[in-house]
Structure 1
Amino acid sequence: MLHVKVQEAGGINVINFAPFLDGSRKQEVADAIVQSFKDTGFVYLTSHGLSQTKVEGMFAWSRRFFSQPMDVKMLAPHPASGLHHRGYSAPGVEKIVREVFDPNEIKKRRAQAPDMKESFECGREDDPLMPNIWLPEGMLPGFKEACLDFYWACHKVLEINFLRALALGLGVPEDHFVQVHTRADNQLRLLHYPSVPVEQLKNEEISRVIAHSDYGSITFLFQDSVGGLEVEDPNKPGQFTSATPVNGTVIVNAGDFLQRWTNDTLRSSVHQVSLPPNLTSSDGMTPPRYSIPYFCAPNFDTVVDMIPTTYSAERPKKYEPISCGRYIMERLAANYTRT
């Protein structure tokens, strides 16, 4: 019998999700996922149910979008507020600052090492809090439809099934998480890291994405073959290991809200995007990198308390109940800045 754990990549478990989807070894897969989240906060899934053709098709659309002239991309501008994550952001505009509130310090950090990435973000079409911002009709026909199709495929195929496995692994009913993730208050982000001078990254004159954690419940990440994602060793703060791209997999990581929800049983690990490992460059430039994260959160009006199996008299609750919307908006306000 094949093990559900296929291999490790950068110290992160690669789990075969097929035995959960077909029902043959659901508990074993669920337990392996929860253990990986306890150990590193990350897991790779193979045989996850979303076709590789659909994934590659979304990467193709991403490349088409980012290859448009800047004046075209700016026809779908991300609002100035860091609380409305929709539309296009140009390189150097957005900066993660992690709990820095002083405007002068924020400005200083952005000037020292701007984030050299560009992004496009969308959500569900009927979101009153963060309405989508698309290119004008007739510009890049089919792009909007492709984004929405991929968005809902991630929700129905990946998010719902993974949440069922997570619940099973934590010893609660399978629908425990699913019943409060019904509205898909999520975010699809297309990311492009342009080719930049290697030395500027090494000297920290520019950055790609500095060390940070995600804020919601879980994140699914599709990455190309270039690499550059690094995950902090939970037992050695400040030491990062490369999360090597594994063909045909999706990386899943726990977010801050899930760590709180599970009374710190699961880890929301810090991660960053840096130089690809073992990079050799004849022209002194990095290769461009593309990735597609899908950030998942409970319905924003959901107020959650600790998972029953994660606290006891010997291990009391660490947190008070809080609504998902309030928590995530507070985290965004504290960590994202824009010019």
Structure 2
Amino acid sequence: MSVPVIDFSAFRSGSEQERKELACRVTEEFKKHGATRLINHGISGEEIKKVYEWSDKFFKLPGAEKDAIANVRDANPQRGYSYVGSEATSKVNKKDEVGEYQICEDDDVDQELEDVKEHFDYTRDGDPDYPTPWPSEASIPGFHNWMEGVFLPDCQRLARDVLTAIELGLNLPEGTFTGCMGSRVDELRIQHYPPLSTKTLTTGKIKRCHPHTDFGFITLLFQDATGGLEIEDRATGGWIPVLPTGEATEVGIYIGDTLVHKTNGHLKAAVHHVTAPVSLKNKEDGVLPERYTIALFAKADRHANVGPLSRFITPEAPQRFPSLTALELHNKRVGQLYDARPKPTVSVA
């Protein structure tokens, strides 16, 4: 079993019937896995290759230059550079009594699990609340303009196309999800996993990224040829390797927590992690090569209500999630990453 690869070209250029059929196929895959993969979606292979080139240049900047634009580790949206080990994805999801991953509501998770990756997060220029600290133009000429002005808008268009497809596939009015994304607060991340010995994985404390779900509506995830990404097999509780196919435009699409909330759990988020590639599984003397990924976290407007739609609340499926804003959900989840959630007040007699 693997995550299927779907040609998405008909959604932009096909007939109304072809668009509807494609939307239904994509939505059915999301129901099965919480994820699918697309090719021929409007972003060229040359453009994606260019982002990897920029990523390589960025992560090779001197440490002092990256530290000068460091992300503040609090509950606010992530902006700027995060060092290796900064995030703790193990803190955001845990298995419940029936073995399903749920949003973690307490500290009952292993606090010593470590992620081995570094990343740079940004959003559109002009965000007055959470601006991005960019590296200087002198240190990496053209990086800011190209990443923010070219690649980010293309990813945002694709994300909205996919959400429109989900609306069609669920027989919802067009704009049900995309209509609350007008402020374009989506976040884009370039991510680098440094080389890692397989022996370090045997402790069980270290992974490239521990099992988790993402926080937005959907995530677009481009990965290089290294491998190691796996999604949860819902049928067995095991893991399905997402092996790169080599298709130049291949992008994984993953359901996030916001869409789970809006559909009252009708769609489930894709639990995923990053471990050793298949070729290095169970080898104690190997070295995982460095790995690069690119992710677009498609987000609802910060003050949009992301509570369940009435369509998905029934006597058989009562409301599972509270009515809260997208920013409240985001702050809760990022606060878990950095142990920055509000602490309960303890009264002193």
| TM-score of the pair, normalised by structure 2 | 0.86
**In structure 1, C-alpha distance between the alignment counterparts of 2:284 and 2:307, rounded to whole Å:** 54
Does residue 324 of structure 1 match 2:315? no
State whether residues 187 and 294 of structure 1, in contact with CA within 8 Å, keep that contact through their aligned partners in structure 2.
yes
- After TM superposition, list the pairs within 5 Å mapping 1:107-146 onto structure 2: 109-110=111-112, 113-146=113-146
Question: SS of 2:269's equivalent?
Answer: coil
Question: SS of 1:168's equivalent?
Answer: helix
| Structure 1 residue runs without a partner (length 5+) | 1-9
Q: Which residue of 2 aligns with 1:3?
A: none
- After TM superposition, list the pairs within 5 Å mapping 1:150-165 onto structure 2: 150-156=151-157, 158-165=158-165
State whether residues 77 and 331 of structure 2, in contact with CA within 8 Å, keep that contact through their aligned partners in structure 1.
no
**In structure 1, C-alpha distance between the alignment counterparts of 2:329 and 2:85, rounded to whole Å:** 26
Does residue 306 of structure 1 match 2:323? no
Note the C-alpha offset of 1:34.
1.0
Q: Which residue of 2 aligns with 1:32?
A: 25
Question: SS of 2:111's equivalent?
Answer: helix
**In structure 1, C-alpha distance between the alignment counterparts of 2:105 and 2:269, rounded to whole Å:** 20
Question: SS of 1:303's equivalent?
Answer: coil
What is the Cα-based RMSD across aligned positions, in Å? 2.2
Relative to structure 1, the CA distance from residue 140 to residue 130 in structure 2 (aligned partners, 3 Å threshold; closer, same or farther) is same
**In structure 1, C-alpha distance between the alignment counterparts of 2:285 and 2:333, rounded to whole Å:** 39
Q: Which residue of 1 aligns with 2:267?
A: 266
Note the C-alpha offset of 1:312.
3.7
Note the C-alpha offset of 1:141.
1.0
Task: Please identify, of 274-283 and 287-296, the stretch whose mean Cα deviation from structure 2 is larger.
Answer: 274-283
- After TM superposition, list the pairs within 5 Å mapping 1:25-174 onto structure 2: 25-96=18-89, 97-98=91-92, 99=104, 109-110=111-112, 113-148=113-148, 149-156=150-157, 158-174=158-174
**In structure 2, C-alpha distance between the alignment counterparts of 1:82 and 1:135, rounded to whole Å:** 23
State whether residues 216 and 298 of structure 2, in contact with CA within 8 Å, keep that contact through their aligned partners in structure 1.
yes
Amino acid at match of 1:242: P
Does residue 244 of structure 1 match 2:237? no
Relative to structure 1, the CA distance from residue 261 to residue 205 in structure 2 (aligned partners, 3 Å threshold; closer, same or farther) is closer
Note the C-alpha offset of 1:254.
0.5
Note the C-alpha offset of 1:82.
4.5
State whether residues 219 and 296 of structure 1, in contact with CA within 8 Å, keep that contact through their aligned partners in structure 2.
yes
Question: SS of 1:191's equivalent?
Answer: strand
**In structure 2, C-alpha distance between the alignment counterparts of 1:169 and 1:205, rounded to whole Å:** 40
**In structure 2, C-alpha distance between the alignment counterparts of 1:330 and 1:100, rounded to whole Å:** 9
Note the C-alpha offset of 1:306.
3.0
State whether residues 75 and 331 of structure 2, in contact with CA within 8 Å, keep that contact through their aligned partners in structure 1.
no
Task: Please identify, of 126-135 and 217-226, the stretch whose mean Cα deviation from structure 2 is larger.
Answer: 126-135
**In structure 2, C-alpha distance between the alignment counterparts of 1:271 and 1:17, rounded to whole Å:** 23
State whether residues 211 and 272 of structure 2, in contact with CA within 8 Å, keep that contact through their aligned partners in structure 1.
yes
Amino acid at match of 2:63: M
Note the C-alpha offset of 1:154.
0.6
**Cα shift readout 1:41-79 (whole Å, capped 9, x = no counterpart):** 001011111111111101110011111221222221111
State whether residues 306 and 323 of structure 2, in contact with CA within 8 Å, keep that contact through their aligned partners in structure 1.
yes
State whether residues 118 and 193 of structure 2, in contact with CA within 8 Å, keep that contact through their aligned partners in structure 1.
yes
**Cα shift readout 1:221-249 (whole Å, capped 9, x = no counterpart):** 00001111110112333x11111112231
Relative to structure 1, the CA distance from residue 283 to residue 64 in structure 2 (aligned partners, 3 Å threshold; closer, same or farther) is farther
**In structure 2, C-alpha distance between the alignment counterparts of 1:190 and 1:337, rounded to whole Å:** 23
Question: SS of 2:293's equivalent?
Answer: strand
Relative to structure 1, the CA distance from residue 305 to residue 206 in structure 2 (aligned partners, 3 Å threshold; closer, same or farther) is closer
**Cα shift readout 1:172-198 (whole Å, capped 9, x = no counterpart):** 122222211111111111100000111
Q: Which residue of 2 aligns with 1:200?
A: 200
Relative to structure 1, the CA distance from residue 135 to residue 243 in structure 2 (aligned partners, 3 Å threshold; closer, same or farther) is same
Q: Which residue of 2 aligns with 1:15?
A: 6
Note the C-alpha offset of 1:337.
4.2
Q: Which residue of 2 aligns with 1:212?
A: 212
**In structure 2, C-alpha distance between the alignment counterparts of 1:308 and 1:15, rounded to whole Å:** 31
**In structure 2, C-alpha distance between the alignment counterparts of 1:41 and 1:241, rounded to whole Å:** 12
**In structure 1, C-alpha distance between the alignment counterparts of 2:339 and 2:76, rounded to whole Å:** 9
Q: Which residue of 1 aligns with 2:295?
A: 293
**Cα shift readout 1:274-314 (whole Å, capped 9, x = no counterpart):** 01112388973111000001101111111144345434454
**In structure 2, C-alpha distance between the alignment counterparts of 1:240 and 1:251, rounded to whole Å:** 16
**In structure 2, C-alpha distance between the alignment counterparts of 1:217 and 1:120, rounded to whole Å:** 20
Give the number of equivalent residue pairs.
322
Question: SS of 1:272's equivalent?
Answer: strand
**In structure 2, C-alpha distance between the alignment counterparts of 1:309 and 1:254, rounded to whole Å:** 19
